[in-house]
Amino acid sequence: MFFRKTEEEPAKLSPELQELRAALAKANLPEAVAAVAKKELERLEKTDPSVAEYSIGLNYLEFLLGLPWNRSTDDNLDLGNAEIILERRHYGLRPVKERVLEFLAGRTLCSLQASRVLVVDDEEIARTNLEYILRKDGYQVATAASGLEALDRLKEQDFDLVLTDLKMEKMDGLQLLESVKQTAPATDIIMITGYATVATAVDALRKGAAHYLSKPINLDELRSSVREIIDKKRHFQLSQGPVLCFAGPPGTGKTSIGQAVAEALGRKFVRLSLAGLRDEAELRGHRRTYVGAMPGRIINELRRLEVNNPVFMLDEIDKIGQDFRGDPASVLLEILDPEQNRHFVDHYLDVPFDLSRVMFIATANIVETLPAPLLDRLEVIQFSGYTEHEKKEIAKKFLLPKQLRTHGLANLAVEVADDAVVKVIRDYTREAGLRQLERELATICRKLARLALQNKSAAGSLAVDELMVEKLLGPRKFTHEAAEGENRVGVATGLVWTEFGGEIIFVEATRMKGVRQLILTGSLGDVLRESAQTALSYVRSHARELGIDPDFFKESDIHIHIPSGAIPKEGPSAGVTIAMALISLLTGRPARRAAALSGEMTLNGRLLPVSGIREKLLAAQRAGVTTVILPQGNEVDVRSLGDEVKEGLEIIMAEEVGQIVDKVLLAEPQ
Ligand code: ADP
């Protein structure tokens, strides 16, 4: 409820309202927004400053005026520069860098393309003048002396813009406009009218002209109208492209590459994690009818950055969803779709804001689970885990120098031996990316800083070797589970692919007296449960060939368990590992712990190819596996990988379970 002042009261404007009024007059707001702001201001002028609505309205107007409606940074589209920045900041990642540069090259070419303008006028002098002016401004210009000639030209070539006189013999400007709208709807038209009556101008605009100019032509107006229309068009073309989505395990450089893209383009950078979002309103804002309503994060960030074209990283789009009020995918779709995001309405703002200049980059750990319409908008660039060698190089060249600087050690002679770095990687981290490694190196630097201060004499030189690592970081955190554990009956080693990269799992099977039940535990998803059923049926139906008593299931229950129950497990690729655990259990032959399997299995024991081979091999190396068994269908994937990923591994390709039993199980039953 607003309290209106009475008529008799003199209309004294408070200084803050005067300021707002002045700011509103100066701010070059889009028409619709200016109208809303003006109405709100008028409402405020009639509202008693002591009521809540007054301050709500005031905050709203200040927020509205503070938004970067027209402010953007100029893009630097120098591809050489982009390459230097990407290289300087990142080791390896060749395919990623290539894809990013190709993406930027597309944008560069698009914006360097000379725009084509067609000038149509039956007076030669007018044509020549316009042609001269527009050529000077860098446009490719063609001319036509009549509407019909113009249509012929348009058949031969695409034009971005047609500048046409209204009054011409045979076919006038309006008729030409109608034909162009039918034959080349993407071409914009500026109508030049000799007699700028409102009626003809309105008619032209109604029929689809982008603008009209009256004779005699004001050259500045002509140039700025042409520039504006062409800019809009270029910008529209650029925003039509897909949105980049960096997918891969945590700590593999996704954010860092995003930052480098922003730096290369000369744009500001902002990152918004979607993982913790609980409510659609966090993205889209609350309606102002709520007390304490606030704008959403997207609009808020743009206001903070003061530009409307930053590189905006939407982090972990695969984590939005559960526990999210509203429809997450549709909000994301709206934000990422150029057709929709030019009219993005934040509930608080309540007027459309054009997000199409923002360069969105999404990140995800796994894209397979994203809804299809969303995936459709994304150009996925896959990041994969690093090999030990890559981690060592990145640690030495980037992570350590950064941590030394952060901890004030850059000027001291700190020598970290290669062996020490490798020890940190092997014994203190177990990850596809570099996050834990970076944290451990930070811990080392923190402790070194303290040592340097405590022991002034040693401050000049600090050497870190393997022993020192253990002294600083304590006992090792990880063992090589596969290499160091014992071979056991009923326990097979498997390789799976999770959002954190490749992982090693141990499938356990046991049998007890019972009533033919298959018990499955370890947070297994439906597909994995079905894989277990399939594996059991295979073993039962092939018992004799496998040297197993065909009646083994008669009076027993079988229990299959995959430890680390807190991590949900899903997917078919553990099928063959489950089968191997069962065969080991029922034959009494221990399974080699250092032989790891991955593969989907059919009911008759054939192995079907699986995904994430690189990640799985890296996980195998990390865990000290020596033999990896994969389906024959994955041979192409294995062949395409570099030697470093296969180093230290014997990789066996197999077509069916029968071929691998002797490779995994020891000969003698226990
Ligand atoms: P993500 O966003 O994929 O989780 P980050 O970009 O945060 O990963 O990377 C984690 C850390 O590792 C950052 O300090 C980053 O600079 C560094 N980093 C990742 N990949 C590379 C690389 N190829 N070269 C140099 N540093 C890297």
Task: Say whether both 520 and 659 belong to one domain.
Answer: yes
Give the tens place of pLDDT for each residue, 112-136: 777 899 999 988 898 899 999 999 8
What is the reported pLDDT for 321?
Answer: 65
Task: Say whether both 225 and 144 belong to one domain.
Answer: yes
Domain assignment present for 326: yes
Residue 250 Cβ contacting ligand 1 at under 6 Å: yes
Give the SS3 label for residue 363: strand
Whole-number Å distance between alpha carbons of 116 and 153: 12
pLDDT band at 230 (very low <50, low <70, confident <90, very high): confident
Average pLDDT, the chain: 88
Q: What is the CA radius of gyration of the chain?
A: 34
What is the position in ligand 1's atom list of the atom closest to the CA of 363? 2
Query: Facing residues of 288 across strands?
Result: none
Give the tens place of pLDDT for each residue, 353-369: 989 889 999 999 989 88
Q: Is 611 exposed, middle or buried (0-12, 13-18, 19+ CB in 10 A)?
A: middle
Most confident range, picked from 2-6, 168-172, 377-381, 567-571: 377-381
CATH number of the domain that residue 414 is part of:
1.10.8.60
Q: What range does the domain containing 210 cover?
A: 114-239
- pTM, two decimal places: 0.83
Q: Which of 70, 104, 68 lies closest to 263, judged by CA?
A: 104
CATH number of the domain that residue 571 is part of:
3.30.230.10
Domain assignment present for 83: no
Chain-centroid distance, C-alpha 513? 52
Q: Are 392 and 420 in contact (CB under 8 A)?
A: no
- What are the helix (H) ranges across 67-146? 79-89, 94-112, 124-136
Query: Mean pLDDT throughout 338-364?
Result: 90
Q: Are 272 and 222 in contact (CB under 8 A)?
A: no
What is the reported pLDDT for 633?
Answer: 95
- DSSP string of 29-70, one letter each residue: --HHHHHHHHHHHHHHHTB-TTSHHHHHHHHHHHHHHHS-SS
Q: Which of 603, 610, 563, 556 lies closest to 579, judged by CA?
A: 603
Q: Which of 662, 663, 640 lies closest to 650, judged by CA?
A: 663
Task: Say whether both 509 and 587 belong to one domain.
Answer: yes
Whole-number Å distance between alpha carbons of 304 and 300: 6
Whole-number Å distance between alpha carbons of 555 and 538: 18
pLDDT band at 643 (very low <50, low <70, confident <90, very high): very high
Q: Which of 246, 434, 437, 439 to mutate to test the pocket of ligand 1 (most atoms within 8 A of CB)?
A: 434
Residue 394 Cβ contacting ligand 1 at under 6 Å: yes
Task: Say whether both 405 and 285 belong to one domain.
Answer: no
Task: Say whether both 331 and 229 belong to one domain.
Answer: no
Q: How many domains does the chain have?
A: 5
Among 335, 353, 382, where does a domain finish?
382
Element (H, E) at 384: none
Domain assignment present for 593: yes
Task: Say whether both 252 and 235 belong to one domain.
Answer: no
Pairing of strands 556-561, 501-513: antiparallel
Distance from Cα 643 to the centre of ligand 1, integer Å: 23
Task: Say whether both 309 and 448 belong to one domain.
Answer: no
Task: Say whether both 577 and 523 belong to one domain.
Answer: yes
Domain assignment present for 299: yes
> What are the C-alpha distances in Å from 555 to residues 362, 533, 552?
54, 17, 7
Distance from Cα 265 to the centre of ligand 1, integer Å: 20
Sequence length of the chain is 670
pLDDT band at 161 (very low <50, low <70, confident <90, very high): very high
Active-site residue (options: 573, 584, 598, 646) = 573
Q: Are 584 and 597 in contact (CB under 8 A)?
A: no
Give the tens place of pLDDT for each residue, 542-565: 999 999 988 888 889 999 999 875
Task: Say whether both 319 and 273 belong to one domain.
Answer: yes
Among 188, 220, 239, where does a domain finish?
239
Whole-number Å distance between alpha carbons of 131 and 125: 10
Query: Mean pLDDT throughout 499-517?
Result: 91
Task: Say whether both 350 and 294 belong to one domain.
Answer: yes
Task: Say whether both 330 and 443 belong to one domain.
Answer: no
Task: Say whether both 466 and 367 belong to one domain.
Answer: no
Give helix 94-112 / helix 79-89 axis angle, nearest 10°: 160
Among 457, 473, 489, where does a domain finish?
473
The amino acid at residue 386 is Y
Structural tokens at position 324: 């999210």
Give helix 219-240 / helix 124-136 axis angle, nearest 10°: 60
Whole-number Å distance between alpha carbons of 482 and 556: 30
What is the reported pLDDT for 567?
Answer: 62
Domain assignment present for 48: yes
Domain assignment present for 96: no
Active-site residue (options: 268, 319, 392, 616) = 616
Q: What percent of the chain has pLDDT over 70?
A: 95
Residue 271 Cβ contacting ligand 1 at under 6 Å: no
Whole-number Å distance between alpha carbons of 513 and 315: 50
Query: Mean pLDDT throughout 149-158?
Result: 89
Distance from Cα 363 to the centre of ligand 1, integer Å: 13
Domain assignment present for 194: yes
Q: Is 573 a catalytic residue?
A: yes
Domain assignment present for 301: yes
Residue 5 has pLDDT above 60, yes or no: no
Q: Is 616 a catalytic residue?
A: yes
